[in-house]
Amino acid sequence: MRKDLLPGEQVITVTRPQPRKLFWPGLLFIVTPALGAYASAWIVKGEPARLVPLITGEWTFWLVALCVCAVAWILLGYCLPRVLKWHATQYVLTSRRIVARYGMLRRRDIQIPLGSVRHVGVSQTLWQRVLRSGNISLDTGHGADAVIPDVPEALKFRHFVLDAVDDLPAGVIFEADRGQGRDADVPQCRPLDRGEPWDTREGGRDER
C-alpha cells in the first residue's frame, strides 16, 4: 500500500473482513483429513466386504483413492478458495481516502475520498454485535451509500474515519480527489463519539 500513497498521504490502519466466515472452512480443514484417514484404514482392513459381500479385495485401491479424492476436493475446492478470498480482501484507511480491495488475480478496487464523506453509519446483525464487527456505510452525497461489509471492530473503524475526516484541512481539494464528485463546500464531519483508539497508527502518527 505504501507505494500507492499520494504525496503527503499517510496510512492510518489496514484490516480485512472479520474472519467468522472462515469457521466452517477451518473446521473442515481439520476434520476432513482425519475422517479420510479413518475411512481409508477401515477400507484397508476389509470392513466394506462385511457390509457388502460383493466388494472384494480388488476394490480396496479404488475405494481408498476415492477417499483421497474426496478429501482433496473438500480442501482445494471448498476450504482454499474461501481462505484466499478472505486474504485477498483488504480495507485501507488513509489520511485522504478509504480503499477497499478485492481479489488476487482479478483485482477490484473501490476508493472513496474522505472529503466527500458526509455521514458514516454502522449496521450490525446479532452475530456481528457479538463479534464486534459490522457493515460501514458511507454517505457521499451522490444518492447511494458505499458499504464496506463485515469490518472488524466496526465502531473503532468508524471513529478512525471520523477522526481522519476531522483532520482534513477545511476547504482543501486534493488533486487526486478531482473528478470524483467532491465539492469545495462539502461540510466537514465531526466525531460523534471518540472511542478507544487502536494501539498503533502507521505513517508517522503518534501512538496513543
> CA–CA separation, 86 vs 8, rounded Å?
30
For residue 127, the model assigns a pLDDT of: 92
Task: Determine the average pLDDT of the residues in 71-93.
Answer: 95
In this structure, of 4-13, 158-167, 182-191, the range with the lowest mean pLDDT score is: 182-191
For residue 14, the model assigns a pLDDT of: 94
**Is residue 168 predicted with pLDDT exceeding 70?**
yes
Q: Count the Cβ atoms, other than its own, within 10 Å of residue 144.
A: 8
- Residue pLDDT, tens place only, 134-148: 999 999 876 778 899
> CA–CA separation, 154 vs 135, rounded Å?
7
Q: Would you say the pTM of this structure is higher than 0.85?
A: no
Task: Determine the average pLDDT of the residues in 3-12.
Answer: 82
**Is residue 197 predicted with pLDDT exceeding 70?**
no
Residues with Cβ < 8 Å from 108, sequence gap 6 or more?
101, 102
Beta bridge partners of 99: 92, 111
Closest CA to 18 of 166, 144, 122: 122
**Which position has the higher pLDDT, 202 or 48?**
48
Q: How far is CA 25 from CA 29, 82, 140, 199, in A?
A: 6, 7, 36, 30
Q: Is 22 left (phi over 0), alpha (psi -120 to 50) or beta?
A: alpha
For residue 199, the model assigns a pLDDT of: 35
Binned at pLDDT 50, 70 and 90, residue 53 comes out as confident
For residue 178, the model assigns a pLDDT of: 46
Which phi and psi (to 5°) does residue 80 adopt?
Answer: -60, -45
**Is residue 204 predicted with pLDDT exceeding 50?**
no
For residue 3, the model assigns a pLDDT of: 63
> CA–CA separation, 51 vs 91, rounded Å?
54
Binned at pLDDT 50, 70 and 90, residue 206 comes out as very low
Binned at pLDDT 50, 70 and 90, residue 172 comes out as low
> CA–CA separation, 188 vs 196, rounded Å?
22
Contact 22, 82 (CB under 8 A): yes
> What whole-number percentage of the chain has pLDDT above 90?
59
Task: Determine the average pLDDT of the residues in 37-46.
Answer: 92
